[in-house]
Amino acid sequence: MKPTTRERLLEAAVTLTYRDGVGIGVEALCKAAGVSKRSLYQLFESKGELLAASLGERASAFAAGLLPAADDGRSPRERILYVFDQLEEQAGAPDFQGCRYLAVQIELKDQTHPASRVAHEIKANLTAFFRSEAERGGASNPDLLARQLILVFDGASARAGIGADNLTGLIAPTVTTLLDAAGVH
């Protein structure tokens, strides 16, 4: 089945903004999608709304690519480490440019921008996962540990995304140190 105009625009936004950044022009988005600007504005109020929708569409794939299944039988410690194993694996891909949600927030600067709000919510969900697992695992301060883990996640993702570091052998010992210090089992 042929993708709809909306689907083609969302895919173009996902692909081009990840590769080239959120500053990509409307004309380039429309050209990549094979649609007119008129079609874009009939479907989306603005380029910002298109970006927000494209980020939202990828949220479940982002979570599925990082988070363990809810009933996987792993301990909270193993579930947290699983996320970082997934990040390490993803960071090894030749086209990895870091976390798209972090990149959007950094590039936009404006936290009220529709795409920035979506990105913030998705990152907040990851932090909430860390907090929940930290609490289940007996962390002495689940809130602090969740903040530390998202800091490591974002920092590792950003450094790998710009080619400044290889995460292999780096990220697991770092996270393990945090988990040990917090008393997570």
DSSP structure string for 107-157: HH--TTSHHHHHHHHHHHHHHHHHHHHHHHTT-S-HHHHHHHHHHHHHHHH
pLDDT in tens, 122-167: 999 999 999 999 999 999 999 999 999 999 999 999 999 999 999 9
Q: How far apart are CA 150 and CA 71, in angstroms?
A: 23
Show the domain range for 101. 48-182
CATH of the domain at 95: 1.10.357.10
Q: Please report the pLDDT score of residue 94 as a whole number.
A: 93
Q: Which tokens go with 149? A: 């883990």
Specify the pTM: 0.94
In a domain, 41, yes or no: no
Q: How far apart are CA 44 and CA 37, in angstroms?
A: 10
In a domain, 112, yes or no: yes
Q: How far apart are CA 65 and CA 6, in angstroms?
A: 24
Residues, the chain, total?
185
Q: Which residue has the tokens 């709304």?
A: 49
In a domain, 15, yes or no: no
Find the mean pLDDT for residues 59-70. 95
Identify the helix (H) or strand (E) that includes residue 90: helix 76-91
Examine the pLDDT at 41 and tell me if it is beyond 90: yes
Q: Please report the pLDDT score of residue 76 as a whole number.
A: 98
Examine the pLDDT at 53 and tell me if it is beyond 90: yes
User: What is the average pLDDT value for the chain, to the nearest integer?
Assistant: 96
Q: Please report the pLDDT score of residue 71 as a whole number.
A: 87
Q: How far apart are CA 17 and CA 48, in angstroms?
A: 12
DSSP structure string for 15-65: HHHHHH-TT--HHHHHHHHT--HHHHHHH-SSHHHHHHHHHHHHHHHHHHH
In a domain, 19, yes or no: no
Based on the structure, what is the number of domains in the chain?
A: 1
Q: Which residue has the tokens 């993708």?
A: 3
Find the mean pLDDT for residues 20-40. 96
Q: Please report the pLDDT score of residue 172 as a whole number.
A: 96
pLDDT in tens, 4-19: 999 999 999 999 999 9
In a domain, 66, yes or no: yes
Q: What is the CA radius of gyration of the chain?
A: 18
In a domain, 22, yes or no: no
136 CB-side CA count, 13 A: 13
